[in-house]
Structure 1
Amino acid sequence: MYLLSPSVQLGLTIGALMYASYGMAHNAFDNAALIGLCTFVGFFIPYYSKFSNRIEEYINLRTACVSLGRLGRFVPQLAFNIGIFLILTLGGVFPATRIDTLGGVLGVALLTTCASQGMQYLALALSNREIGDRNRNVLLALSINIVVTALATLGLAWSRGLFLTLGWTFGAAFFVIGLLSDWRSLRYRRGGIGVFFGTFNPIHKTHLALIRDAIETRGLEKVYLHSTTIPKLHAQALQRGEIRIARHDQGMRIYEKTERADVHVNYFPTGSRFYEYETRLAMMRAAVAEAGLGDKVEVLSLPNEYAQGGFYAVLQRIREAAGPLPVHGIHGSDLGGMWVRSIYDESGWIYPYPVVRRDKVSATAIRNGEIGLTTPSVQKMIVALRKSGEAGAPTRSAGAQLVGQP
């Protein structure tokens, strides 16, 4: 089953492509160093990917700074690539003189890392907009980068030029987009509207504090909230049969992995229990009203737009209605918040309103039974759903009744 996981297959494909590219470029198919290196890369890449993700997530959580997070991802890949090219040259796959004009081992490693990071960013941005599949897009991006880098080591003028262009273009785009995002979070226009997206599973006091602070700090006229219907990660995994709904309990759908699950994918970064969309929507509206924010905050429900294009489509709808007013994107520094930040950054000139999460308030804690972390009305809803579940009632119906559904 391990070898059937998409991440494992992706890694093995990259290792095989690397072997074919350098073997063909330098007639080195029988080189022991190349064989060993590509075998290691094929099996190691999925673990490296998780490691680099965690570094970026750790930095983001403590800084809410896109540029620092990307730098944290960049540094280990640069070190990894330096090791690769040292082995390729010392192992006799190609002479070190072939890459002298590219800055030697360090120069080649730097350029290929820049290109790789930038192209993967583009690949993921396209998949987020339903253009291609996430894994296939990343595979295509990495494949192009591997082939171009292998050609560059031939020392030919045209291949060197292509490699330099690819590295600097995608590397610059990758870092400039992040720097501009961080700059907009510090140098923003006051006034306009705010948007706040997330799972709100359920909405809690920190969500409300972020909204209130954003309104006061940036002088916002209005803030629009919208929650996920079904998180895209789950929708796609359900479609592929990698996860399933094990049961419904206390107004929540409880997910579990299936035998087809990818061993390297974290399907439940924010937990495997989700209140139904209608329930979360009712909780959001109740919490906003109870917090006295009803005149400034509107809870939207655009399920058709979300189904067609996720938060990108919802945000486009809001921007069309806002006209020339500046738009501010509210988010926390946790994993879900930084995912939302990437949507803001990919949707045009939006001013991020990042807040570093330092409190102990979380939706996970609420779902686990903690009290006092949300508003009294939302807490009452949760208690009623729990009681209906304990009584053996069909909690989906109980949840629907609580939120005014037939």
Structure 2
Amino acid sequence: MKVSAYLTSPSAQLGLAVGVLMYGSYGLAHHAFGNTGLIALCAFVGIFIPYYSKLSNKLEELINLRSARLSLGRLVRFIPQLLFNIGVFLALVMAGVFPDSSLDALGGVLGIAVVTTCASQGMQYLALAMANREIGDKNRNVLIALSANIVVTAVATVGWPWAKTAFLTFGIGFGLLFFAVGLLSDWRSLVFRRGGVGVFFGTFNPTHRTHLALIRDAIEARGLKKVYLHCTTVPKLHAQALQRGEIRISEYERGMRVYETTERADVHVNYFPTGRKFYEYETRLAMMQAAVADAGLSDVVEVLSLPEAYDKGGFYAVLAHVKRLNKGQPVHGIHGSDLGGMWVRGIYDESGWIYPYPVVRRDKVSATAIRNGATGLTTHKVEQMMEALR
């Protein structure tokens, strides 16, 4: 990795900003600007945070893939950060930034680490939820969340009674919110109202046999009268990265966009978690309709096309449209346990009392394999369309 590419990376800059803020907060709170231990620790945190973020994301994705349970994934994300925070506070005490006794009222090193981790996880969840709804930028929101958490924690270590109360209320409150949302979501996936309608969102790049199997199973298991499908127009990650010049379309291949990163790309971001090749929106829409017809599901499945609503409000807007059409009816959110499926699960949870219908992906059916030429994984009409595009 080139040093210049690292230094211009938004994720790296975010990490360095957090390190600087940490140094300023603890240095000011404890008059420790000249403490070499504090300087070294903050430098380490500033450099390490982007790598920690990627690691925790990977761990959560792995657990989600195998369980489709939000609570387990969030617990796995929580534990590494807790261990990291324990190490940070031990290092601060050993470096003499503040005495161990100043943490007694906060439960010692373990107590303050637990509350700090709860607050951090909860605030990051809110920051990302706001970014998903087009309120602020993802990186900037996370920076604000981490910054607020660092400042509040640093002030709490001073020993002021009001700071202790604010810290404990702030941390425990956000932690409970973070885990309560996940627990309620998992509970709704097990205890649900039968009937109503289902929604199934994704890239559908292209629609394959597992998509159709999920729809059939959900209709039977939940007694659904209708299922609405909607695909992304341009995935939000790609739309924003294209706008910022971090990725570009390198070529068109068999009707698909082929993306590549540019020199402005963030070295810590995986821009193509589901592959670099994407059929155009209109093509994917036609393939969805053909697959539904092939599967004999046209009477119970409606393929929606709301590109203007999606471009303004993403799947939140599409889901709001479905709710307006089915007032008073339970809505069931179909999704797989893969990365895209769990991302959609988050949208369901942030959109009201949606009943998730999670399915752990164990088959070997892959849209990536289909795009790369594998046959027999989608319907006959879809394969004919793909062959015509070739």
Q: Same fold (TM over 0.5)?
A: yes
Question: What is the RMSD of the two structures over their aligned residues, measured on CA atoms?
Answer: 0.4
Paired position in structure 2 for 1:206? 210
Paired position in structure 2 for 1:230? 234
2:88 aligned with 1:84:
yes
Choose from 44, 68, 71 the match for 2:75: 71
Name the TM-score, length of structure 1 as normaliser. 0.95
Paired position in structure 2 for 1:356? 360
Deviations 1:224-265 (A, max 9, x none): 000000000000000100001111110001110000000000
Paired position in structure 2 for 1:263? 267
Query: Where in structure 2 are the equivalents of 1:80-119 lying within 5 Å?
Result: 80-119=84-123
Choose from 168, 178, 181 the match for 1:177: 181
Distance in 2 of aligned mates of 1:42 and 1:235 = 28
Paired position in structure 1 for 2:198? 194
Choose from 10, 14, 27 the match for 1:23: 27
Paired position in structure 1 for 2:313? 309
State the SS of the aligned residue for 2:309.
Answer: helix
Distance in 1 of aligned mates of 2:93 and 2:326 = 57
Paired position in structure 2 for 1:400? none
Deviations 1:15-52 (A, max 9, x none): 00000000000001111110110000000000000000
Distance in 1 of aligned mates of 2:366 and 2:30 = 55
Distance in 1 of aligned mates of 2:296 and 2:324 = 27
2:299 aligned with 1:295:
yes
Paired position in structure 1 for 2:140? 136
> 5+ unaligned residues in a row in structure 1: which ranges?
387-406
Percent identity reads 73
2:45 aligned with 1:41:
yes
Aligned length: 386
Choose from 158, 168, 186 the match for 1:154: 158
Paired position in structure 2 for 1:390? none
Name the TM-score, length of structure 2 as normaliser. 0.99
4+ residue runs over 4 A deviation: none
Distance in 2 of aligned mates of 1:38 and 1:219 = 55
2:124 aligned with 1:120:
yes
Distance in 2 of aligned mates of 1:53 and 1:2 = 20
Per the TM alignment, residue 270 of structure 1 is displaced from its structure 2 partner at its CA by 0.2
Distance in 2 of aligned mates of 1:4 and 1:165 = 37
Distance in 2 of aligned mates of 1:156 and 1:28 = 18
Paired position in structure 2 for 1:389? none
State the SS of the aligned residue for 1:323.
Answer: coil
Per the TM alignment, residue 2 of structure 1 is displaced from its structure 2 partner at its CA by 1.3
> 5+ unaligned residues in a row in structure 2: which ranges?
none
Distance in 1 of aligned mates of 2:265 and 2:163 = 40
